[in-house]
Amino acid sequence: MTDPRARHQDLVQQIEQHRAAYYGDDAPTVSDAEYDALERDLRALEAEYPELAEPDSPTQTVGSAGVATGFATVKHRERMMSLDNAFSLEDVAAWLARVGKEAGDHELVCEPKIDGLSISLTYIDGELTQGLTRGDGTQGEDVTANVRTIRGVPRRLNGKHLPNLVEVRGEVYLPIKDFEALNEALLADGKAPYANPRNTAAGSLRQKDSTVTASRPLAVTTYALGALDWGDTAPDPRLALQSGIYQVLTDWGLPVSEHAKVLRGIGDIEAYLRELEAKRHSLVHEIDGAVLKVNDRAVQRSLGNTSRAPRWAIAYKFPPEEVHTTLEDIRVDVGRTGRVTPYGVMAPVTVAGSTVTYATLHNAHEVKRKGVLIGDTVVLRKAGDVIPEIVGPVIAARTGAERAWTMPTRCPSCGSVLAEQKAGDKDLRCPNSEFCPAQITHRIAFIGSRGALDVEVLGDKAAAAMVESGVLANEAELFDLTEEDLRRVPMFVYEVDEKITKKQADAGVVGRQAGDVGENGRKLIANLALAREQPLWRVVVSLSIRHVGPTASRALAAAFGTMGAIRAASVDELAAVEGVGPTIAESVRQWFDVPWHANIVDRWAAAGVRMADERDDSTPQTLAGLTIVATGSLEGFTRDEVKEAIVAHGGKASSSVSKATDYVVVGANAGSKADKAERLGVRILDEPQFVRLLEHGVSAV
């Protein structure tokens, strides 16, 4: 068993090293989630062995003491505390029970937890006199000259009712759009991009030359007060509440969060946290959670503080979306349109609630831009349902054993020479679309996807098995499959005989024999029969025509009505369809002009796949001329059913919100589209209103 004191010393050493990298170099070598895990381990160990919890333990201190940065250190008039963390709603409920006689006993202020750099601004007689970083909580770095360059920090407070002295606490950050623009400019100059907005903001604020800081579009949000001296002036009565602090800060001309809310009870808090997490990527700054504070400042004072954190506040941390892991290899995948995409193979790691082993690297240019090497410790990001992405390497973790990766020149599946489809393309493609096994496999699997013909069982493994066994030469033969064909595919047949009892045999149970087609094989044949009856737009999607997704397919099916009419249409006729345009029209025309492509359609038609939509003139065109966007989950419609209902009633189903949008239909867990609709003044409908709109038109809503 590991000696507790030795384990304690090891944890303390790791945490202090990571703090020094985070606060001193602005170049953390572990993710926030990994750091939080170390602190949780240390707290658990000290709870079990209280004698180990000495005053200088990281659980009792804030920031990183003794980090040399080159700036003068100045003592805060009032300590800048840290926050204890909650990682679940159960943690929040337990905290509520501690701060009140029962959970929800107090009003709370909830606000986003900005991922930036803490700052303290001192105003004397309304004039900005000093700006300090948090440092170790007791003293911070004097960055006054640099703070004065931040546009959102007023040199003088507004109003006449001002204190003699006040310390204003806030967070300095770099807006996401400005961070992206900064990186684009660096890349244009041939320089390495910055890793993330938080580190860039911290580094920008710590520049020795304040003109460099001034060139960075830093912003600030304020949220608290430190030392406060009103002298002979009566204090502002609004400061009796935490929410009142935000009102006063606003009056003084200081920026506060527009997303702060006053709530009561775990139910309201849970709803707020879920809403904030759903729209976290649409905010102007990065956040990693929310901060919850007791609203009544008299209650705050009665609850007091621990050695490092207030008892009346807590930080709720979202599940981590960024972690560190090892990039073990870089390989390439050949997609259904021939695009060759590099992807990273990593040591398995849990991020955003799922275990990730693979992450896209997009193309060879992106691998070079990110500067990743095989063997690197890399930052991995997975935001919600978004495909995992390798953000970049952790340079400080390199050992020298890492090696560069080179893009292959030949297709790993068929050996064809890779090439750009047109000059200047960043993507390389395999030109052998008719015979490349990887492309054929991906196209067949795509046919089975929900966005295409939605064929259960027809996934990547099934498609690969049928291609490898020679049962399918390409997708043209898919609807000719029989159970006899599937006997040649090992994954679809029983490997051994099934023994049954005499009693089962007498009851009519039939034993399964080795080589018989199994349940999945029979299900595949049955589901292919159902897929033959899918509407025309889904059949068009399933052809894997470049640039032709569900929106364009719906438009084509609605405009022409039959596959034959689409196939016979000229580029001009295709381009004239709203939602299609010249690029898609040219792609459709070129696709049908290839003989083996046309053969796919002919074989499917001969096998009974629907090639025409039955016009239903009885459907009222209540949405004629309207552009509608649906976002979030609706109870009575799937995503596809919403779009189909819009189109069937004469409307245009759009995927993006703009000033041209007439309505946005909002369901549960709606994200940035709902926010954008509010900003643009676009009318928002809930599900019952949408149903009335479908049935009766605009007058009903």
Give me the CATH number covering residue 347: 2.40.50.140
pLDDT at 182 > cutoff 80: yes
Reported confidence tier of residue 277, pLDDT bands at 50, 70, 90:
confident
Cβ–Cβ under 8 Å, residues 65 and 80: no
With respect to residue 199, please indicate whether it lies within any of the assigned structural domains: yes
Look up the CATH number of the domain holding residue 81.
3.30.470.30
94-103, 363-372, 477-486 — most confident range: 477-486
Residue 650 in tokens: 């004469």
With respect to residue 58, please indicate whether it lies within any of the assigned structural domains: no
Look up the CATH number of the domain holding residue 515.
1.10.150.20
Look up the CATH number of the domain holding residue 28.
1.10.287.610
With respect to residue 424, please indicate whether it lies within any of the assigned structural domains: yes
241 and 105, same domain (yes or no): yes
335 and 311, same domain (yes or no): no
pLDDT at 385 > cutoff 60: no
25 and 173, same domain (yes or no): no
pLDDT of residue 12: 76
Active site residue 191: no
With respect to residue 460, please indicate whether it lies within any of the assigned structural domains: no
18 and 102, same domain (yes or no): no
Q: Among residues 381, 379, 413, which one has the least CA distance to residue 396?
A: 379
Task: Write out pLDDT tens, residues 624-646.
Answer: 888 899 988 888 887 778 887 88
Mean pLDDT, range 549-571, rounded to an integer: 90
Mean pLDDT of the chain: 86
* DSSP per-residue letters across 573-585: HHHTSTTTHHHHH
With respect to residue 15, please indicate whether it lies within any of the assigned structural domains: yes
With respect to residue 65, please indicate whether it lies within any of the assigned structural domains: no
With respect to residue 449, please indicate whether it lies within any of the assigned structural domains: no
Total of domains in the chain? 5
Q: Which residues contact 502 (CB under 8 A, 6 or more apart)?
A: none
pLDDT of residue 611: 94
Distance CA 285, CA 200 (A): 13
358 and 216, same domain (yes or no): no
Q: Which amino acid is at 341?
A: T
pLDDT at 379 > cutoff 70: yes
Q: Among residues 598, 597, 615, 481, which one has the least CA distance to residue 535?
A: 615
Strand segments (E) across 460-504 = none
584 and 693, same domain (yes or no): no
Cβ–Cβ under 8 Å, residues 19 and 32: no
Residue 33 in tokens: 């989630």
598 and 652, same domain (yes or no): no
Look up the CATH number of the domain holding residue 661.
3.40.50.10190
pLDDT of residue 388: 83
With respect to residue 454, please indicate whether it lies within any of the assigned structural domains: no
Task: Write out pLDDT tens, residues 582-625.
Answer: 999 999 999 999 999 999 999 999 999 999 987 656 678 888 88
Mean pLDDT, range 535-564, rounded to an integer: 91
Q: How many CA atoms lie within 13 A of 304 on its CB side?
A: 3
Among residues 291, 317, 343, the one where a domain terminates is 317
Q: Which helix (H) or strand (E) holds 10?
A: helix 4-19
Mean pLDDT, range 183-190, rounded to an integer: 74
Buried b (16+ CB within 10 A) or exposed e, 113-149: bbbbbbbbbbbeebebebbbbbbbbebbbbbbebbeb
Task: Write out pLDDT tens, residues 62-71.
Answer: 555 444 445 8
pLDDT of residue 103: 45
Which region among 226-230, 439-443, 502-506, 526-530 has the lowest average model confidence (pLDDT)? Answer: 502-506
* DSSP per-residue letters across 428-452: EE-S-TTT-HHHHHHHHHHHTSTTT
560 and 497, same domain (yes or no): yes
Among residues 317, 333, 355, the one where a domain terminates is 317
79 and 141, same domain (yes or no): yes
81 and 214, same domain (yes or no): yes
550 and 696, same domain (yes or no): no
Mean pLDDT, range 135-141, rounded to an integer: 87
Domain enclosing residue 524, as ranges? 467-606
Q: How many CB atoms lie within 10 A of CB 589?
A: 19
77 and 41, same domain (yes or no): no
| H-state helical runs in 189-236 | 197-205, 210-215
Task: Write out pLDDT tens, residues 290-332.
Answer: 999 999 999 999 999 887 789 999 999 887 677 889 999 999 9
Among 75, 101, 113, 673, the active-site one is 113
